A and B are shown apart, each in its own frame.
Chain A
Amino acid sequence: MTAKISLRNVTKQFTVRAGKGSKAASGSQAGTGSGTGSGNGSKQPTVLTALESLSLDVRDGEFLTLVGPSGSGKTTLLDLLAGLSTPTSGEVLVDGQPVLGPGKDRAVVFQQYALFPWRTASANVSIGLEGKATDGRRLTRRERAAKASEYLKLVGLAGFEDRYPHELSGGMKQRVAIARSLAYEPDVLLMDEPFAALDAQTREQLQDELLRIWRATGKTIVFITHGIDEAVYLGQRVAVLSARPGRLKEIVEVDIPDRDGDEDIRSHPAFVEQRHKVWTLLHDEVRLAQDAGHRKILPDGTAPDEPAGNESTLERSAA
């Protein structure tokens, strides 16, 4: 099996304005191994390492799930794969070519659906088809609508073509978003906690449909989740990231015999075992992350992060 996606020693750093609590922050900056600009309580920008020397291969047609504590850089990693940002160092390769920006070979599904509210379901699905296709041909309006219907049908929304997003439930919106990302036929589907905002039943239903679509289309899928069950249920492999700075802690091969059978695989002994394995790996990291007081960054770039208690981070990077 060839690698569809490979990350080689990828590091991603953000420049953050030092906030008021920058005394504590400077301690942690030393911990993350990046000394630049971490003066004593200065207003100088500091560097925050979100991902550090991460190497990972995703096989062609693989369903890889990615778990890690909050703030471990999962979304950052997905942005790199999507071409929405560039790595500080290292290489992101898709089909052996470095990623230079967003491309039609990759599609992203966001947690908050990100549908265009002024477009109907059908128009949302076909937005990716409106430009010139890779062969330089432009689809006619009718061809686009037909394709949109086809993909809406694939996600179980036949007949909802003319609905506006505000007329759809959360589950339906996410289905439309999935249809939109599938419609221009990317090889790779990048999904960032796509089912996190849904209720348990809808989530399970969509998980099964995603598996069905994956089997039917043979896409390579990178799926970020907070749910350990979800990660083990969906993934052929589960990649576990460490607490910030995100590094690849371990990859767990999910090997559940008789996966396509009728029985509830969530109660299969193999499932329970793998789940426990991932849980243990993640649990350590979540505790570390909590000890370090990691919280998410604010949209304006300030990090309300790290009060006291960075010893654990320091220990870790020393080790």
Chain B
Amino acid sequence: MSATLTQKPAASSAPPQAPAVGHSGPSDSGQRNQGTTAVLAFLRTAAVSAGSGVWKAAGILAFLALWELGPTYLASPSTRVFLPPLHEVLAAWSKLYDAGSIQGHLAASLTRSVSGFGAALVAGVSLGLLIAWYGRLNSVLNPLLELFRNTAALALLPVFTLLLGIGEESKISIVAYAAFFPVLLNTIAGVKTVDPLLIRAAKSLGLSSLALFRKVILPSAVPTIFTGIRMAGTASILVLIAAEMVGAKAGLGYLIVNAQSSFLIPDMYAGILTVSILGLAVNFLLVALERHFSRWRTAVGAGS
């Protein structure tokens, strides 16, 4: 169950609440005064949010600057070949983009991860609900699940390749495998940790078992399930890239290794950059979904 312990990233650095201050200003002290207050409040909000934006961006900007200037001024010429400055990478990226090859590789990777992830989602949630609901099933399957969960997915890559070939099936399967366990285990944990008092209350309200499941157990498990889904998203991208590096003819992982072996170093970095942006985007999307479905849990996102 260690899966559930992973905390959400502290993504909730709440936006500044200056507008409220502006509105609560003295309303009967003349139009002009009010206007000034509003303008001041607006400026303050803008300044604060710009300020926090600058702070947030500062780290990234510093990193990019180091990337741009470091190789030219700090690195030895031989290292510089393997560490091209940012503008060369961006140039390579836009060339790849114009040739449509980034899009092609991205599409290949996305297709695989979405199908694998989707399959894992459906299988993990439904099996998890079943296992949690039927306690007997849990005691039979639990040791087995522990064993599989603790076998790193990538260790099984050769097995998948042997059995399913180097085509799409093996890649989709290994992504599904890697994404399956976080979803499954968090679903089980979510169902098991439903407050027994709520179950008593629901029973006393005369809910049938089906209604109890649908209206009490499922909603209270949803936040935990979404934590699992977010972890699965991260895992599926990781495993997919690795799998594509080992044997594939398309995909971002393939782009990266292929560029490396063809000594197209800027292209390789363009691939890496795309992977990290994809990862960020997926995580952002899943965190937003998770937040949306856990609104009732805390005050975040409700009111204010």
A14 interface residue per 8 A CB criterion: no
Q: Please, what's the 1-or-0 string for B208-252, where 1 marks a CB less than 8 Å from any CB in chain A?
A: 100100011001101000000000000000000000000000000
Q: Do the beta carbons of B303 and A167 come within 8 Å of each other?
A: yes
Q: Which of B180-229 contact A (CB under 8 A)?
A: 196-198, 200-208, 211, 215-216, 219-220, 222
Q: Do the beta carbons of A103 and B206 come within 8 Å of each other?
A: yes
Q: Do the beta carbons of A131 and B298 come within 8 Å of each other?
A: no
Distance in Å: Cβ of A273 to nearest Cβ of chain B: 36
Among candidates A103, A104, A110, A118, residue contacting B200 with C-beta atoms closer than 8 Å: A110
Q: Do the beta carbons of B201 and A166 come within 8 Å of each other?
A: no
Q: List, in ascending order, chain B residues with CB within 8 A of A127's CB.
A: 202, 205, 207, 215
Q: Do the beta carbons of A112 and B297 come within 8 Å of each other?
A: no
Smallest Cβ-Cβ distance to B199: which chain A residue = A114
Q: Do the beta carbons of A114 and B296 come within 8 Å of each other?
A: no
Q: Do the beta carbons of A128 and B296 come within 8 Å of each other?
A: no
Distance in Å: Cβ of B220 to nearest Cβ of chain A: 7
Q: Do the beta carbons of A114 and B201 come within 8 Å of each other?
A: yes
B302 interface residue per 8 A CB criterion: yes
Q: Do the beta carbons of A107 and B302 come within 8 Å of each other?
A: no
Q: Please, what's the 1-or-0 string for A164-191, where 1 marks a CB less than 8 Å from any CB in chain B?
A: 1011000000000000110010000000
Majority-rule SS of B interface residues: helix
Q: Do the beta carbons of A114 and B219 come within 8 Å of each other?
A: no
Q: Which of B51-95 contact A (CB under 8 A)?
A: none
Complex: A107 Cα to B202 Cα, angstroms: 11
Q: Given A114-B201, A118-B220, check contact A167 B302 (CB 8 Å).
A: yes
Q: Which of B266-304 contact A (CB under 8 A)?
A: 296-299, 302-303
Q: Please, what's the 1-or-0 string for A73-104, where 1 marks a CB less than 8 Å from any CB in chain B?
A: 00000000011100000000000000000111
Q: Do the beta carbons of B296 and A118 come within 8 Å of each other?
A: yes
Q: List, in ascending order, chain B residues with CB within 8 A of A118's CB.
A: 219-220, 222, 296
Complex: A115 Cα to B41 Cα, angstroms: 40
Among candidates B196, B198, B206, B208, residue contacting A128 with C-beta atoms closer than 8 Å: B206
Complex: A103 Cα to B204 Cα, angstroms: 7
Q: Do the beta carbons of B207 and A166 come within 8 Å of each other?
A: no
Distance in Å: Cβ of A149 to nearest Cβ of chain B: 19
Number of interface residues of B (CB under 8 A): 24
Q: List, in ascending order, chain B residues with CB within 8 A of A119's CB.
A: 296
Q: Which of A42-60 contact B (CB under 8 A)?
A: none
Q: Which of B150-204 contact A (CB under 8 A)?
A: 196-198, 200-204
Q: List, in ascending order, chain B residues with CB within 8 A of A166's CB.
A: 296-299, 302
Interface centre among B204, B208, B299 (most CB of A within 10 A): B204
Q: List, in ascending order, chain B residues with CB within 8 A of A181's CB.
A: 205
Smallest Cβ-Cβ distance to A183: which chain B residue = B205
Interface centre among B200, B216, B297 (most CB of A within 10 A): B200
Complex: A108 Cα to B202 Cα, angstroms: 10
Q: Given A84-B203, A107-B204, check contact A116 B198 (CB 8 Å).
A: yes
Smallest Cβ-Cβ distance to B222: which chain A residue = A118
Among candidates A180, A184, A299, residue contacting B196 with C-beta atoms closer than 8 Å: A299
Q: Please, what's the 1-or-0 string for A114-134, where 1 marks a CB less than 8 Å from any CB in chain B?
A: 101111000000011011000
Complex: A41 Cα to B205 Cα, angstroms: 41
Q: List, in ascending order, chain A residues with CB within 8 A of B298's CB.
A: 166
Q: Given A112-B197, A116-B219, A118-B219, check contact A128 B203 (CB 8 Å).
A: no
Q: Do the beta carbons of A131 and B211 come within 8 Å of each other?
A: yes
Q: Do the beta carbons of B216 and A116 come within 8 Å of each other?
A: yes
Smallest Cβ-Cβ distance to A123: which chain B residue = B215
Among candidates B201, B211, B219, B303, residue contacting A108 with C-beta atoms closer than 8 Å: B201
Q: List, in ascending order, chain B residues with CB within 8 A of A112's CB.
A: 197
Complex: A131 Cα to B205 Cα, angstroms: 10
Complex: A107 Cα to B205 Cα, angstroms: 7
Q: Do the beta carbons of B205 and A102 come within 8 Å of each other?
A: yes
Complex: A88 Cα to B202 Cα, angstroms: 24
Complex: A108 Cα to B198 Cα, angstroms: 12
Complex: A104 Cα to B303 Cα, angstroms: 35
Q: Do the beta carbons of A104 and B296 come within 8 Å of each other?
A: no
Q: List, in ascending order, chain B residues with CB within 8 A of A116's CB.
A: 198, 201-202, 215-216, 219-220
Distance in Å: Cβ of B94 to nearest Cβ of chain A: 47
Complex: A131 Cα to B202 Cα, angstroms: 12
The 5 tightest CB contacts between A and B, nearest first, are A114-B201, A108-B204, A118-B296, A128-B205, A118-B219
Can you sample 5 A-B contacts with CB below 8 Å? A84-B204, A118-B219, A118-B222, A167-B302, A181-B205
19 more CB-based (< 8 A) A-B contacts, given A116-B215, A166-B297:
A82-B204, A84-B203, A84-B204, A102-B206, A103-B206, A106-B204, A108-B200, A108-B201, A108-B204, A110-B201, A114-B200, A117-B296, A118-B222, A127-B205, A130-B211, A131-B206, A166-B299, A167-B299, A180-B205
